[in-house]
Structures are given as structure tokens and as C-alpha cells.
Chains A and B, each alone.
Chain A
Amino acid sequence: MKVTVEQDRCVAAGQCAATAPDVFDQRDEDGVVVLLTDDPAAERADDARHAAAVCPALAIHIEE
């Protein structure tokens, strides 16, 4: 799995940090997404997929 994020598109809704906190964080000043790992461990992969699905700005992309 390879995870990428588009910070320009991000609207800081916090859905990814809430859904997959081991994969995504948010910049403290404005909440924009920060990718913690682009290759999450197998047990975190579902959370990452879920985060991509609920991202309102479609700013998370996953290549399987």
C-alpha cells in the first residue's frame, strides 16, 4: 500500500486523524493533514482506507 495526501486540497476536517491516527496527523496551526507513514503496517491498512473514504476533500489517495 502507498498512501499520498494533497495538502493543498485538505480542509482540516480532521476525519483522517480521527479514523487512522497512526497514519495521519494534523498541523497544529491550521489542521492541515500530515502524513506519518506512506506505507502503513497491515493492521493499520484498513484504517487508512477508511480515512480516504471519509475525507471530505478527497485529499487522500491509496495505491494498493
Chain B
Amino acid sequence: MSHAPTGAAPEAQVPEWPMPRAAGCPFDPPPGLRELTAEKPLAKVRIWDGSAHWIVTGHAAQRALLSDPRVSVDERLPGFPHWNEGMAAGLAYRPRSVFNSDAPEHSRYRRIMTGPFTFKRVEALRPTIQKITDDLIDKMLAGPNPADLVEALALPLPTLMISELLGVPYEDHEFFQEYASRGIAHNVSAEESGRNFMALNEYLVRLVEQKAAEPADDALSDIAARVTAGDLTVPEAAMMGTGLLIAGHETSANMIGLATVALLEHPDQLAVLRDTDDPKVVAGAVEELLRYLGIIHGGQRRIAKEDIEIGGELIRAGEGIVVELFSANRDADVFPEPDLLDLHRANARHHNAFGFGIHQCVGQQFARVELQVVYGTLFRRIPTLRLAKSLDEIVFKHDRLAYGVYSLPVTWG
């Protein structure tokens, strides 16, 4: 291939995105993407609607772009690289939120959401998270063997915790888990996306109105109070609640399931967690698993508002940018032997698993505590834990925006 600017390449040569991971390598980025970005930290790909956009894989380039005010998340700008048809079609009914606004508007929304997720507030939840984890493990051990770890632990723990934190009734979990999971499929039609959004949105609107009328000690009541105060509209508050509810359980659930598979496949690394009671070792292990696993794959979507020179390429104003966070976590310039799972890796915390820039995950400290408790407990309590099926029988969420496993049959004893 020539070294002419990729933007000038004939459209036909631009490969499609997303790309498949290699068979038998469920933990590694797609080989096609690595090949495409072997020379430069960014290249052009074609997405679902046939349009071509930049995909950025390098760690430094990602951090530069994600913290650059010339790079926007405003999905209403023409040329924005939408996730799927459903997201593109839903522009009209999605209110402004942290997800689609730039600074300074973004700060106003963000600061309404951040209070419950400070380091100290989530640390205070650790005993509750520990108790729920122990109870769920007790229940699994008392039930049939083998069991599905996703159903027994990975999904209920974060769902219980975010429900409690937000003040969403846990008895509704089947409803919102189902819609959350459907909403993040790679290929969602306009019609289905609209249905999913409306169902969840109506549910959250009702909850916000209820919390405004009868406030409780929970995050949704705090958000509802801002509606009463005139700082937010009901649709904005409902959007905030929807975002927190989906992001608050789906991602952690995938991290618990996928990490368990990865650790069972790397027994020497599992032993690090099983044999330690040092919180620092557990915290380091969580960072390395966040780096290694790439739960958020498919690429965060942005658009350039001005021309930007980066990595030997010129991103022109109005061009879409797909930031594939997972690839940055396997950048050998930052992480030596990047495909090695090493729970003692010194700089694991420099991963981009939670994104970077002003949109970096609001709930990341909460997720960290959940994962520290689960990883620090599961393998100590069940040292004989193993897969009840072979690795190639496990079904991975290739088709979802959040990667993980649909179910995880495990056995013990």
C-alpha cells in the first residue's frame, strides 16, 4: 500500500467496521484492525450506512483526540458516525445529555450526575457490595451444580447495586435488563431502537415524576429535585436515569463474566487473586482486567469540528472519528507485551477502558469497587471453580456494543 493520505484512498478499498475477532482468540482485538493500523494510529473504515470515517487505535492519539475541544460528541452534526441505523433515526427524540453535548453544556449535565459516584461515596458502599456478593455466591453454591455464573452473580450484583443507588425498583429488573441489552446490539433497526427507547424512557419518566412527588434517599430523587428546581426538563432527567441504569449494570456484568472466563483460561493469573488478601493486589488486578478485556468495543463516536493533524494524517472538519478504546489498551508503546494478561502490570491503570477526556465514565469508581469485591471474593470462596463447557462452546457477545458472554456455565467441587 502507498503512503498517500488514507483519506484519498478509493472508497472501495476502505474496509468495513466492525471487524470480526479471530476464531479462538475471544480476548484479542480483530486482526484486520491491527493490520490496518500497523503503521499509523488511525485509518479509514466504512460503517453500517456505507460512510467512511477515521478509526483511531493508538493510545496517545486517542487521548489527544478525546481531550481535544475541536472533537465533538454532537450527534446532530452532519456526517456524525452513528452506531447503527436505530441511533441515527433516534436523533429527533433523544434530548440533550452528557452523551451528546460538548463543554460547557456537558458540564451542567455531568455535575448533576456525579455526586453519588465520588470515590468516598462508593467506598462507603463496599460492605453492602461485599454482603450481596457473598449472599449470591452462597445461593449459587446451595443450588444446582453446574450453574450459570452470569445469572447467579455477574448480572444480579451490579443490577441490585445500581437499582439501590438510583432508587429503581429491583423487581423491574427483567424489564430494564431486557431493554438495555436490546438497545446496545450492533445492528438495531430504526423501528426497534425507537420501541426500546420509548419503553425505557416512559418507565424512567414515570419514576422521575414519582420521585419528584415523593423524594427518597437515592440518586434519581436528587435528579428529580433538579427538575422541580427548573434546572432540567423531565425528558433530560429521564435520559440521565436511562443512561445511568444501562451503563450501571450491563458493563459491570460483562466485566464479571468475561474476566471469569479469562482467569479460568489463565490459571497462573487466577492464582494471584485466589491467594491474596492485599487490597492493592486486587485493585491492580482489576485495572489489568479492565485493560485486557475490552468490554467497550466498536468504537466511541466523535466528529471533528475543525481540521486536526494527528499521527501523520489530517482529519478534516466534518469527518467522523471512531475511537476504538480497546485497541489503545493493547498499544505496545504503552503496555509492553500488550496481549499478555499480567495482573501485576505496573501501569495497567493507564488503560482507556473507561474512555478519556471529559466524557470518561461517570461510574468508574463504583465499577472498580464492584469488580474489586467480586474478583477478590469469587476465586477465594470457590477455589475449584471451572468452566462446565469448553471455551469454544461459550458464546461471546460479538454482536453487542458491550462485549462479554451471554451465559457462563461453571462447576465446582
Contacts and interface: CB of A to CB of B under 8 A. Distances in A.
Interface of A: 8-9, 11-15, 17-19, 21, 25-26, 28-32, 50, 53-54, 56-58
B192 to A, nearest CB: 32
A15 B283 CA distance: 13
Enumerate the 4 nearest inter-chain pairs by beta-carbon distance, A residue then B residue, closest first.
A56-B360, A12-B114, A17-B119, A31-B114
Nearest to A32: B111
Contacts of A19: 349
B396 interface: no
A56 B67 contact: yes
A29 B115 contact: yes
B249 to A, nearest CB: 19
Nearest to B107: A11
B305 interface: no
Contacts of A17: 118-120
B118 A54 contact: no
Q: DSSP majority for the B interface?
A: helix
Contact of A31 (B118, B356, B368): B118
Interface string B343-358: 0000001100011111
14 contacts: A8-B107, A12-B111, A12-B114, A13-B360, A13-B364, A14-B122, A14-B364, A18-B119, A18-B365, A25-B120, A26-B118, A30-B115, A31-B111, A31-B115
Interface residues of B, number: 28
A18 B121 CA distance: 12
Residue among A9, A25, A31 with max Cβ neighbours from chain B (10 Å)? A31
Given A18-B365, A30-B111, A53-B350, A12 B357 contact: no
Residue among A21, A25, A57 with max Cβ neighbours from chain B (10 Å)? A57
A14 B365 contact: yes
Nearest to A25: B120
Interface in B357-374: 357-362, 364-365, 368
B117 interface: yes
A30 B114 contact: yes
A14 B119 contact: yes
A28 B368 CA distance: 19
Contacts of A15: 364
A56 B114 contact: no
Interface in B76-135: 107, 110-112, 114-115, 117-122
Contact of A28 (B115, B349, B354): B115
A19 B368 CA distance: 13
Nearest to A13: B360
